[in-house]
């Protein structure tokens, strides 16, 4: 007697033990969702699969998150936007030259975000944002905007201190962001635009780009003086 979904791609709970701690549920769901969203994209991830990977039933997922979109937002908050206050503090407390600050910023971005699954969320928004305008708007508000604000603050610090040239900060932001976005895409799309293996070493790439940007920011300064 065939039970439901007997013949389909097996979706079976991962957690064997009954050790489900109630409080841990949302976290487990968020983790499962992150994995799957990053792996398959938003539209292509089935909510049942998220639930199964978290070791709960479909119904439970909707108990904690009212919809797939809200689940996604929660994943974004958990992995990206929720961490800005910590980062902001870190940079407010930073002592040292703004050049070091920027270098440090790019380096730890790679360590804490770029090299983790969380960076897949950015790739996901780039890919599917158009099809889910509400998510795109949320992401812009909660991630893009705070991120830009943080960077803008750093750059302005450098300009104000005379370390950087008096550039248009809003434009300069992209010189910093571009290589990071590129790296993420590289990481999450290997199979499509790469023929041979490992043509880029991310850490080296980041250092290089940091130098390049700083060179630019300072060169501009010197040129003007």
Partner DNA sequence: AATGAATGAGAGTTCATTCAT
Partner DNA sequence: CATGAATGAACTCTCATTCAT
Of the candidate spans 63-71, 104-112, 121-129, 217-225, the one that interacts with DNA by CB under 7 A turns out to be 63-71
Query: What separation in angstroms does the CA of 107 have from each of 170, 189, 191, 210?
Result: 21, 21, 25, 9
Measured from the CB atom, the residue of 9 and 195 that comes closer to DNA is 9
> Closest Cα to residue 72, out of 126, 20, 124, 148?
124
Q: Coil, strand or helix: which one is 185? A: helix
The full length of the chain comes to 225
Does residue 219 interact with a copy of itself by CB under 8 A? no
Residues in 33-62 that interact with DNA by CB under 7 A? 45-48, 51, 56-60, 62
Residue 13 near which of DNA, a copy of itself, none (CB within 5-8 Å, type-dependent):
DNA
Q: Coil, strand or helix: which one is 139? A: helix
Binding map of a copy of itself across residues 3-22, x = CB under 8 A, - = no contact: xxxxxx-------------x
Q: Which of 66, 92, 96, 130 binds DNA (CB under 7 A)?
A: 66
CA dihedral 61, 63, 66, 68 (to 10 degrees): 0
The angle, 0 to 180 degrees and rounded to 10, between the axes of the packed helices 25-40 and 68-79 is: 100
Measured from the CB atom, the residue of 1 and 93 that comes closer to DNA is 1
Residues in 138-177 that interact with DNA by CB under 7 A? none
Which 3-state string (H, E, C) describes 55-89?
Answer: CCCHHHHHHHCCCHHHHHHHHHHHHCHHHHHHHHH
Of the candidate spans 64-72, 156-164, 180-188, 214-222, the one that interacts with DNA by CB under 7 A turns out to be 64-72
- Contacting residues toward a copy of itself, per CB under 8 A: 1-8, 22, 26-27, 39-41, 43-44, 63-70, 74, 122-123, 125-134, 136, 139-140, 144-145, 148, 170-171, 173-174, 177-179, 181-182, 185-186, 188-189, 191-196, 199-200, 212
């Amino acid at each position: 007697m065939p039970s439901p979904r007997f013949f389909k791609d097996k979706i079976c709970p991962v957690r064997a033990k009954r050790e489900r701690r109630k409080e841990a549920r949302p976290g487990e769901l968020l983790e499962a969702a992150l994995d799957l969203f990053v792996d398959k994209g938003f539209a292509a991830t089935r909510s049942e699969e998220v639930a199964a990977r978290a070791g709960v039933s479909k119904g439970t997922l909707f108990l904690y998150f009212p919809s797939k979109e809200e689940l996604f937002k929660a994943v974004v908050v958990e992995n990206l936007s929720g961490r800005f206050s910590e980062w902001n503090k870190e940079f407010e407390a930073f002592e040292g030259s703004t050049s070091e600050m920027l270098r440090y910023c790019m380096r730890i971005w790679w360590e804490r975000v770029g090299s983790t699954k969380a960076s897949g969320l950015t790739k996901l928004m780039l890919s599917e944002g158009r099809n889910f305008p509400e998510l795109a708007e949320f992401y812009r508000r909660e991630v893009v905007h705070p991120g830009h604000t943080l960077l803008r603050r750093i750059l302005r610090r450098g300009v104000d201190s005379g370390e950087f040239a008096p550039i248009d900060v809003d434009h300069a932001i992209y010189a910093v962001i571009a290589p990071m976005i590129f790296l993420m895409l590289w990481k999450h799309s290997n199979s499509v635009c790469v023929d041979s293996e490992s043509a880029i070493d991310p850490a080296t790439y980041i250092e290089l780009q940091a130098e390049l940007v700083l060179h630019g920011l300072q060169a501009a300064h010197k040129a003007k003086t």
